[in-house]
Chains A and B, each alone.
Chain A
Amino acid sequence: MPAKALTGASAQTIVLSILDRGDNYGYKIIDHVRQLSDGEVAWAAGSLYPLLHRMKADGYVESFWVEGEGERRRRYYRITVKGRKALEKEKREWLSVHRIFVQLWGLQPSLS
């Protein structure tokens, strides 16, 4: 499990990135994150839902209920234009952090 601070800092970016790929609902988002991290990052529902709430209040996402055939009634989230802009910005920031680590730790990927 990464440190709490890192989780807090990255959660919004991760959620925005997932929603950028398509509308989704809470359980699936947690599932997705767990799979992407090989089970290392397991968000608690108790932290995700308030986060989604806040992102909604900030205007980054919007929510709607979907009741598919034979499916359970679920609340889906969709990224907004504002959310997409925020994601672009966050992406740049994370990538610059990423570049620093890559260079510091000699992880320069090479094609050879």
Chain B
Amino acid sequence: MSADARFNLEAAIAAWRRFWMTERSISVEDADELESHLHDEMDTLVGRGLEPAAAFHEAVQRLGDYATLERAYRRVYWKKAHAERRLALELRWRLSMLKNYLTTAFRSLMKRKFFSMLNLGGLALGIASCLLIFQYVAFERSFDAFHANADHLYRITRTPVIDGAARDTDAKTWRQMGPAFAADIPEIQDFARYAGMRVGATVATLGETGEHKVFMEHGLAHTDPAFLRMFSFPLLQGDAATALTEPGTLLLSASMAHKYFGTTAPLGKALRVRNQDYTVRGVFEDVPENSHLQFDFLLPMDDLLQGPEYQGTNGWTWANFSTYVQLSPDADVDTMSRRLSQSVINNVGGVMDSTFYRIGLQPLQAIHLRSAGFGDVALSRGLKGSDYKTLYFLSLVALFILVIAWINHVNLSTARALDRAKEVGVRKAAGARRSQIVSQFLFESALVNGAALALAVGLSMLLRPFVNAWAGVTLTMEVWRDPRFWGVFVAIFGAGALVSSLYPAFVLSSYRPIAVLKGRLGALASGLLLRKALVVFQFAASMALLTGTYVVYLQVHHMRSRDLGFDLDQTLVVKGPQLMEPDVDEAAAINTFKQEVSQHAAIRRVAVSSTVPGGGFSAGLVMSRQNAAPTDRVKIKASFIDDDFLETYGVELRAGRTFSPSLATDQEEALLINEAAARMLGFDTNEAALGGKIVLYFGENPVYTVVGVVEDVNWMSVAAEVDPAVFGFSPRGGFYSIKVAAANVAEALETTRRVYDAVFPGNAFDYFFLDAYFNEQYQADQRFGALFGLFAGLALVVACLGLIGLAAFTAAQRTKEIGIRKVLGASAPGIARLLAVDYVKLVLVALVGATPLLYFAAEKWLSSFAARIEVSVWLFLTPGLVVLLVALLAVSYHTIRVALTNPARSLRYE
């Protein structure tokens, strides 16, 4: 047929192709391949003798039908696309599940509002306590980290070693030590001496313009120009390069500039410090709170060294300076100590490793937390000091509280498990997989933890000022800017959410739906045991914290109320004048002051001394009995007092007499010693000491005679043993102690002020009450006690929240049982006892278990105090009873409510 002849192969194939590609489900390349295949097939068929048209049809037939092929191709093509779509579906499903979880969580939280509140509140309170403690710890640890050179800066420490035995380390150094080190040791790039003014100074504005201002300032320090190079105390105004190089110039802090000059420019203004005039050459930023060096005014070191006490000495006599050095980054710190010690031996003598000063390098950032026992309080007063052990303790407390809070969460969640067992059963019966149940509960727990965390942040901000006021600490928000803090924060959240929810999640998801829906819950007994164990732990921890607080409180109280040997009460201490007109006889003026003040009826007695109890001694002097061997020389602390001192303070003489103003030689030759000093100097009895000759090794080695022996009094904190002490006679001390009659303190103060202003014109009247001043020594312990107590209380509250929840829960669980008991004749008190006894048992186990551990801890802490309380049963019994009582209170509300329920109501429903 002509039709065959007219068969156009190309056109047919093109048509075929068009058809195959209409749906675009086959790619051009694949169509090419198929077309090529078609041609091959046709070639073969034609080779067998088929007509082209028949061959085409046959070949197309053999290719398979379009629908099948297209589907096969599509499956391949869309495999990838399909996977993407499945992902989207999965995501949508997950999201809807999330929404579902959220709804469920919200409903279950709302259904049991009381429970949820306890759960959330306990967690939030626990985390908030933790955050507060972390803020405190972070602040304490941040000291001196703000200096750019912090890693290369060190403070020089000094440990006297006598015959190979090391004595107490201090950080006092000599004037010439810094320069000597810089010359001897090339790795020391810079050094700065720093000397804070011990007693403070009056600072006054000069000139006619503006208001004349006079204040007593305590934050004055002399230092070297290198100080500003080494430390990062940036100048806001003035030139750091020339600052402190010129005599008669000073730098002051921004707030001091404002205090004295208001809004006018401070640079170039004049200030009178004591009786010297200074020009302001710079203003520095206020010293940050977290700096161990605290000062408001910086004066040139050279000005101090011009003073008479530094003239005519070689610079290795008075150790009144802190010396800071900056080491080059490659310096070997380990061998440095020996080289420095050698340098000191070269200058002051000594034998290496036997009798010498061992010089140490204390890293700048260690100063704040690791300087316990460094020297006198007098030197460190105004410097801030803390102890790293306190931080360890507090961190432990934080951990305890957190664990207690988490335990609450676990306990309340597992207790709720019973409640929700039916829900789980229904979910499982409806086809929920275990992993879904687990993730549902994990999600719920994360939600509660997240909410608690948010609440805790708010709570900690709210509580911060109260904690600051209560414990006298400085919690700043500064740490919130520290990424490490955030790390901790996130870690707390993560750990909390996970740890506290894993157990409930797995317990709940493990229920077999049939058992659960039938109401058989025998498997929950193990959860009960765990809950009990956790409650025991909670209360053991609470008990530990409370006992700790109690021990610290009793010890501090013991120290404060202990008989010091002298009378601190009703004693007003006025600081002596600093500005004296050159023509005024100081001794005479002081005498006038004493006389005039004493005339007032409200004032009993006035004494003058160089230092007062609680404020350290004036000096530590090396001395020995005359003709003693050099090895018998001892270092004894010394202060100067006048003839009224012993009587004013009620210090008893054990032998001999006190100073006498009528004996002219007393000032040059007489010495009072305490009994401890008498023993140290080798006198067998107090009487034997009388008339003893004592050589003091300084200047021209003067010889003194012991005229009296006084009782041992606690000049400093009773935390330490009584220091051996000697007292010289000087009617010109810096402190005037005024004994006031009990009722007239205000009047006495006013009189004293009036007399002071009349006798010492131009001086700022600065006073304090001795008992408060003395007790400042216990501040660190008190602060520790206050913080400890606060958080111990919080821990107990959190633990009780959990207990309330548990008690409420068991009570609710046993509603029916109680109903039956009541019907059978049980009394309400009997039932309350029945319900409470379980928890009382747990708490008792906790208390008994914790006591031995606490005993050892208390013994260890107390052993560092010279005057310590004894560990008695009551030390544990009292906090134990408190815990028990509080626990009983927590349990009782719900227990009693259930016990009082009318049985008809609890038994009505089946």
Nearest chain-A residue to B30 (Cβ)?
A49
User: Which residues on A sit within 8 Å (CB–CB) of B33?
Assistant: 26, 49, 74-75
Q: Is the CB of B39 within 8 A of A72?
A: yes
Contact B76 A50 (CB under 8 A): yes
B468 to chain A, nearest CB (A): 67
Contact B36 A47 (CB under 8 A): no
Q: What residues of chain B lie closer than 8 Å to A53, measured between beta carbons? A: 30, 73, 76-77
Contact with B along A1-33 (1 / 0, CB 8 A): 000000000000000000000000111000000
Q: Are A57 and B79 in contact (CB under 8 A)?
A: yes
Q: A44 at interface (Cβ–Cβ under 8 A)?
A: yes
The answer to whether the Cβ of B40 comes within 8 Å of any Cβ in the partner chain is yes
A45→B40 CA distance, assembly (Å): 12
Chain A residue with minimal CB distance to B59? A45
Whether B40 contacts A54 by the Cβ 8 Å rule is no
Q: A27-B36, A73-B36 are in contact. Are A50 and B75 (CB under 8 A)?
A: yes
A112 CB → nearest B CB, Å = 43
With the chains together, A44 CA to B29 CA distance in Å?
19
Query: Is residue B32 contacting chain A, with contact meaning CB distance below 8 A?
Result: yes
Q: Closest residue of chain A to B79, judged by CB? A: A57
Cβ of A54: which chain B residues have Cβ within 8 Å of it? 76, 79
A57 to B65, alpha carbons, bound, how many Å? 24
> A47 contacts B64, CB within 8 Å?
yes
Residues 57-91 of chain B, each 1 if its beta carbon lies under 8 Å from chain A, else 0:
00000111100110011011101100000000000
> What are the residues of chain A within 8 A of B65 when measuring CB–CB?
46
Chain A facing B: main interface SS: helix
* Known pairs A49-B30, A73-B32; A27 contacts B37 (CB<8 A): yes
Contacts of A75 in B (CB 8 A): 29, 32-33, 36
Query: Please, how many angstroms separate the alpha-carbon atoms of A89 and B723 in the complex?
Result: 89
Taking the complex as formed, is B772 at the interface, i.e. its CB lies under 8 A from any CB of chain A? no
In the complex the two chains form, what is the Cα distance from A46 to B63 in whole Å?
A: 6
Please tell me if the beta carbons of A72 and B40 are within 8 angstroms of each other in the complex: yes
Decide if B72 touches A50 in the complex (CB within 8 Å).
yes
B32 and A44 contacting across the interface, CB-CB below 8 Å: no
Please tell me which one of the listed residues B39, B41, B72 contacts residue A46 in the complex, with CB atoms under 8 A apart. B72
In the complex, whether B514 has a CB less than 8 A from a CB of chain A is: no
B34 lies within 8 A of chain A by Cβ: yes
Of A47, A72, A73, the residue contacting B72 (CB under 8 A) is A47
Give the complex CA separation of A58 and B557 in angstroms: 81
How close is B414's CB to chain A, nearest CB, in angstroms? 49
Inside 8 A of B39's CB, which chain A residues have their CB? 72
- Give Cα distance in the complex from A27 to B63, angstroms: 11
Distance of A83 Cα from B519 Cα, bound (Å): 58
- Residue of chain A at shortest CB distance from B68: A46
Chain A residues lying within 8 Å of B32, measured Cβ to Cβ, are 73, 75
- In the complex, the number of residue pairs spanning A and B with C-beta atoms less than 8 Å apart equals 57
Contacting residues, chain B, for A44 (C-beta < 8 A): 62-64
Cross-chain contact B34 with A49 (CB below 8 angstroms): yes
Do A27 and B41 have beta carbons less than 8 Å apart? yes
Q: Cβ of B29: which chain A residues have Cβ within 8 Å of it? A: 75
Residues of A within 8 A of B75 (CB): 50
**Shortest CB–CB separation between residue A75 and chain B, in angstroms?**
5
Whether A45 contacts B62 by the Cβ 8 Å rule is: yes
A45 touches B76 (CB 8 A): no
**Smallest CB–CB gap between B38 and chain A, Å?**
8
Name the distance in Å between A24's Cβ and chain B's nearest Cβ.
12
Q: Closest Cβ of chain B: how far from A37's Cβ, in Å? A: 16
Residues from 151 to 191 in B contacting A, C-beta threshold 8 Å: none
**What residues of A have a CB within 8 angstroms of the CB of B34 in the complex?**
45, 49
Contact digits for A63-74, partner B, Cβ 8 Å, 1 yes 0 no:
000000000111
Q: Which residues of B contact A45 (CB under 8 A)?
A: 34, 37, 41, 62-64, 69
- A41-62 CB contact bits vs B (8 Å, 1 = yes)? 0001111011001100100000
Instruction: Check if A46 sits within 8 Å of B69, measured CB to CB.
Output: yes
Known: A44-B63, A45-B62, A73-B32. A26 touches B73 (CB 8 A): no
Q: Which of these, A46, A50, A57, A72, contacts B36 with CB under 8 Å?
A: A72
User: A49 vs B70: C-alpha distance in the bound complex, in angstroms?
Assistant: 11
How near does chain B come to A106, taking the closest CB pair, in angstroms? 39
Question: Given the complex of chains A and B, what is the CA–CA distance between A75 and B27 in angstroms?
Answer: 14
Residue of B nearest to A73 (CB): B36
Docked complex Cα distance between A49 and B693 (Å): 119
A71 to B40 Cα, complex, angstroms: 11
A73, B30: Cα distance in complex, Å: 13
* A73, B69: Cα distance in complex, Å: 22
Bound-complex Cα distance A17 to B121 (A): 70
Q: List, in ascending order, chain B residues with CB within 8 A of A74's CB.
A: 33, 36
Contact of A57 among B62, B69, B76 (CB under 8 A): B76
Q: Which residues of B contact A57 (CB under 8 A)?
A: 76, 79-80
- A49 vs B64: C-alpha distance when bound (angstroms): 11
A60-B80 Cα distance, complex, nearest whole Å: 17
Residues of A within 8 A of B77 (CB): 53
Interface centre among B29, B32, B76, B79 (most CB of A within 10 A): B76
Residues of chain A within 8 A (CB-CB) of B41 are 27, 45
Encode B19-54 as 1/0 by CB contact (under 8 A) with A: 000000000011011101101110000000000000
Q: Measured between alpha carbons, how far is A47 from B73 in the docked complex, in Å?
A: 9
- B551 to chain A minimum Cβ distance, whole angstroms, is 73
Kindly state the separation between the CA atoms of A89 and B65 in the bound complex, as whole angstroms. Answer: 34
A72 to B32, CA, bound (A): 11
Q: How many whole Å from A96's CB to the nearest CB in chain B?
A: 30
Closest Cβ–Cβ distance, residue A41 to chain B (whole Å): 14
Distance in angstroms between the alpha carbons of A25 and B41 in the assembled complex: 13
Which residues of A sit under 8 angstroms from B40, Cβ to Cβ?
27, 72
Give every chain A residue within 8 A of B72 (Cβ-Cβ).
Answer: 46-47, 49-50
CB distance from B81 to the nearest CB of A (A): 12
B37 interface neighbour in A26, A47, A50, Cβ under 8 Å? A26
Contacts of A27 in B (CB 8 A): 36-37, 40-41
Give the chain B neighbours of A25 by CB distance below 8 A.
36
Encoded as 1 (CB less than 8 Å from any A CB) or 0, chain B from 598 to 617 comes to: 00000000000000000000
- Residues of B75-122 at the interface with A, using a CB-CB cut-off of 8 Å, are 75-77, 79-80
Complex alpha-carbon distance, A53 and B76, angstroms: 7
Q: How far is the CA of A83 from the CA of B32 in the complex (A)?
A: 25
Check if B64 sits within 8 Å of A46, measured CB to CB: yes
In the complex, the chain A residue whose C-beta lies closest to that of B39 is A72
Q: How far is the CA of A23 from the CA of B569 in the complex (A)?
A: 109
Closest to A46 in B: B64
Question: Which residues of chain A have C-beta atoms less than 8 A from B79's C-beta?
Answer: 54, 57
Q: How far is the CA of A74 from the CA of B34 in the complex (A)?
A: 10
State in angstroms the CA–CA spacing of A53 and B73 once bound together: 8
Complex Cα–Cα for A44 and B39 (A): 15
How long is the Cα–Cα vector from A25 to B39 in the complex, in angstroms? 13
B73 near A50: Cβ-Cβ < 8 Å: yes
Max count, chain B CB within 10 A of own CB: residue among A27, A46, A47, A57 = A46
B84, chain A: closest CB distance, angstroms: 15
Interchain CA distance A50-B75 in the complex, whole Å: 8
A30 CB to closest chain B CB (Å) equals 8
Alpha-carbon gap, A26 to B32, bound state (A): 12
Greatest chain B CB density within 10 A among A25, A49, A73 is at A49
Q: Determine the chain A residues whose CB is within 8 A of the CB of B62 once the complex forms.
A: 44-45
Closest to A47 in B: B72
For A54, the closest partner residue in chain B by CB is B76
Query: How far is B721's CA from A1's CA once the two chains are assembled, in angstroms?
Result: 107
Known: A45-B69, A75-B32; 7 extra A-B contacts, CB below 8 A, are: A26-B33, A44-B62, A45-B41, A47-B72, A54-B76, A57-B76, A57-B80
B contact set with A: CB distance below 8 Å:
29-30, 32-34, 36-37, 39-41, 62-65, 68-69, 72-73, 75-77, 79-80
- List 26 A-B pairs, Cβ < 8 Å: A27-B37, A27-B41, A44-B62, A44-B64, A45-B37, A45-B62, A45-B64, A46-B63, A46-B65, A46-B68, A46-B72, A47-B64, A49-B30, A49-B69, A50-B75, A50-B76, A53-B30, A53-B77, A54-B79, A57-B79, A57-B80, A72-B36, A73-B32, A73-B36, A74-B36, A75-B29
> What are the nearest 5 A-B pairs in CB distance?
A46-B64, A50-B72, A46-B69, A27-B40, A53-B76
